[in-house]
Amino acid sequence: MTLPLPLPLQLPPQLPLLSLLIFAPLGGALALWLLPARAARHLVALTLLITLAISSAVLFNFDPAGARFQLIERLPWIASLNVHYLVAVDGLSVLFLPATALLFLGSLVASWNLVHDAPRLHYSLLLTLQSATLGIFCALDTVLFFFFWELTLVPLYFLLGRWGATRDSPLAAARYLLIMLAGGIPLLIAFIVLASSQPTIPPTLSFDLIALLAAPLPRSTQTLVFLLCLLGFALKVPLVPLHTWLPQFSLAAPGSLTALIVGLKLGVFGLIRFAIPLAPAAAQDMHWLLAGLGTVTLLYGAVGILGQTNLRIALAYASICHVGLAVLGLASFSAQGAQGAVALLLSFTVATGGAFLLLEFLRQRTGSTDINGLGGAAKTMPLLASGVLICGLAGVGMPGTSSFPGEFPLILAALQSHTGAGMAALFGLSIAAGGFLALYRKAFFGPVTRPEVAQAEDLRPRERVVLIALIIMIVGIGLYPAPWFDIIRPAAEAWAAGLSR
């Protein structure tokens, strides 16, 4: 225990914390249908708070200095295929659980007064999405992981298609679903190849990540598995050239939903958890591919910001830019790179997710997030403008914000392993920062020209809570990152040691 806090309550050791965490939102989703529709959002808020509490309990019960995987729960699920219900957390994943819970809470607060039609359906889909997302972070059985991975698509499809922000939303929803279903195929095939190429006698299927990590595969199989996994995860990340769904998605979705999709970087997590450790030799052979994709993605995202007039699309490009950096750092295959990548992803959840939530507040007031429809917004909405600035600065990696402690080791790792790409990354990041500030200036400063902007009121108390929480987290983590790094570091070192075997 590195956090010098007394445990608020002593939990019995056999309590299946992770299962409780995964199934609490589902339970809430079912409970929604027992109560009248007007009580729905309060019940959802309660469920999300419970989820947050359980995820904090998981964090307190996690011992960073202990074994790699903790709080393991293993139950046979499909015994004849050797598939288990196997969940556990390690230092790389444990922080994502409270981050997910927080982001969903923020998303609920941001859309508090917006869901009028069929609220119970809307909220039960949202809670199902949360269950699936938490499951992705906890699952250590590849089939179970794939189950949760695909399970996220159904609620997303409905949330976007039915409650979308534009007329094109159903189309964007279908496109997203189809692209992600197609992306699932290489993943599934990779997992099947992995499972059936275990060198055991007699040959048995194995989907257990812990066992798979212990048994290295032949080189040719590794190459196949790595390429298939990379294809599947790169779609979700998204890496250029597979990113085309993201700008469309971020425009068609309500901000609270975009915050969830962009804020939770499931694709990079998949690379860290599955693609690279399962095929370490192939991944290291193809470091150029990973680093190249990362660099191209970073530069593409940075340049993409420059051409935008819509803040939400610009933010989507900024996030593309930063996952590029994370992937480039991962290509160093060092503990430093993994640690930086995880820290950056966590910071994303707060900074990018928060920025999308704030832009959603802006859209609700002015009907637009296009800079042509704004101008001078800082005059009437100073709090909102400063919130966007802080989140945006965190998004471009300003020292003192939560992104910096992640970005710094990433750049160091990249400069050591791929010097040229690292230089290009620095260059790209400064373009991104410049592009963001230029957009910000056009949107928030200058004379007020439009009546919607002139009449808009600043953040209301409910929204201020979101803003204050965001600032505390961004600045707090930025100034004092040590406790979080202490949780990530041992796992990142174990991760890197596993690769260099």
Partner 1 sequence: MGGLSEILWQEQSSLPLLIWLQLIPLIGAAVVFAFKERSTAVIAGKVFALAELLLGIIVTSRINPTLPALQMAERFDLIAYHVAVDGLSLIFILLTALLTFLMTLYGMSRGMISPGRLFAVLLVAEAGLVGMLMTVNLVWFCVFSALELWAVFHLLRRWASSRAEIQALARFIQYQAFGWALFAGGCVVLGWAYADAHAGYWSFDLFELVGAVPAGKFQTAAFYLLFYGLAVRTPLFPLHGWLPNMAQHGLIAVAPALMVGVKVGIYGMVRFVLPLTPAAVEYWQPYVVGFAMAGIFFTAALAFQQTNLRRLLAFAVVSHTSLLVIGVFSLHESGIQGAILLAANFGLAATGMWFIVGFVFRRTGTTELHELSGLFERIPFLAIAFLSFGLAIVGMPGTPGFDAAHLVLEAAIDRFGALPTVAAALGNVAAAGFLLWAFQRAFLSPSQEGRELDVDRTLPMEYLVCGIALAAMLAIGVFTEPWLRLTETASQAIALRFIR
C-beta of 181 vs 479, nearer to partner 1: 181
| Contact residue for partner 1 among 20, 39, 53, 192 (CB under 8 A) | 192
Does residue 499 belong to the site contacting partner 1 (CB under 8 A)?
Answer: no
Helix (H, G, I), strand (E, B) or coil at 453: helix
Does residue 72 belong to the site contacting partner 1 (CB under 8 A)?
Answer: no
As measured in angstroms, the least distance from the Cβ of 206 to partner 1 is 13
Does residue 154 belong to the site contacting partner 1 (CB under 8 A)?
Answer: yes
Q: Which two tokens stand for residue 440?
A: 């910000």
φ/ψ region of 435 (left if φ > 0, alpha if ψ in -120 to 50, else beta) reads alpha
Does residue 170 belong to the site contacting partner 1 (CB under 8 A)?
Answer: yes
Residue 141 φ then ψ, to 5°? -100, 130
Residues 107, 163: Cα–Cα separation, whole Å: 14
Does residue 161 belong to the site contacting partner 1 (CB under 8 A)?
Answer: yes
CB 405 within 8 A of CB 274: no
- Nearest Cα residue to 265 out of 335, 332, 324, 334: 324
C-beta of 20 vs 177, nearer to partner 1: 177
Does residue 178 belong to the site contacting partner 1 (CB under 8 A)?
Answer: yes
Residues 427, 288: Cα–Cα separation, whole Å: 19
As measured in angstroms, the least distance from the Cβ of 449 to partner 1 is 33
| Contact residue for partner 1 among 96, 104, 123, 146 (CB under 8 A) | 146
Q: Which two tokens stand for residue 267?
A: 């694709």
| Contact residue for partner 1 among 77, 112, 408, 445 (CB under 8 A) | 77
The letter for the amino acid at 340 is G
Site for partner 1 in 441-470 (CB under 8 A): none
> What are the residue ranges of helices labelled H in 367-418?
377-380, 382-395, 404-417
| Contact residue for partner 1 among 45, 50, 193, 211 (CB under 8 A) | 193
Q: Of 105-113, 166-174, 249-257, 487-495, which part binds partner 1 (CB under 8 A)?
A: 166-174
As measured in angstroms, the least distance from the Cβ of 80 to partner 1 is 5
- Nearest Cα residue to 462 out of 383, 395, 396: 383
Helix (H, G, I), strand (E, B) or coil at 215: coil
As measured in angstroms, the least distance from the Cβ of 192 to partner 1 is 5
Does residue 27 belong to the site contacting partner 1 (CB under 8 A)?
Answer: no
As measured in angstroms, the least distance from the Cβ of 350 to partner 1 is 30
Q: Which two tokens stand for residue 192?
A: 């099947």
Does residue 177 belong to the site contacting partner 1 (CB under 8 A)?
Answer: yes
Residue 74 φ then ψ, to 5°? -135, 120
Residues 318, 302: Cα–Cα separation, whole Å: 6
Does residue 227 belong to the site contacting partner 1 (CB under 8 A)?
Answer: no
Number of Cβ within a 10 Å radius of residue 422: 23
Does residue 121 belong to the site contacting partner 1 (CB under 8 A)?
Answer: yes
Which residues contribute to the site for partner 1 (CB under 8 A)?
76-81, 118, 121, 143, 146-147, 149-151, 154, 157-158, 161-162, 167, 170-171, 174, 177-178, 181-182, 185-186, 188-189, 192-193, 196, 224
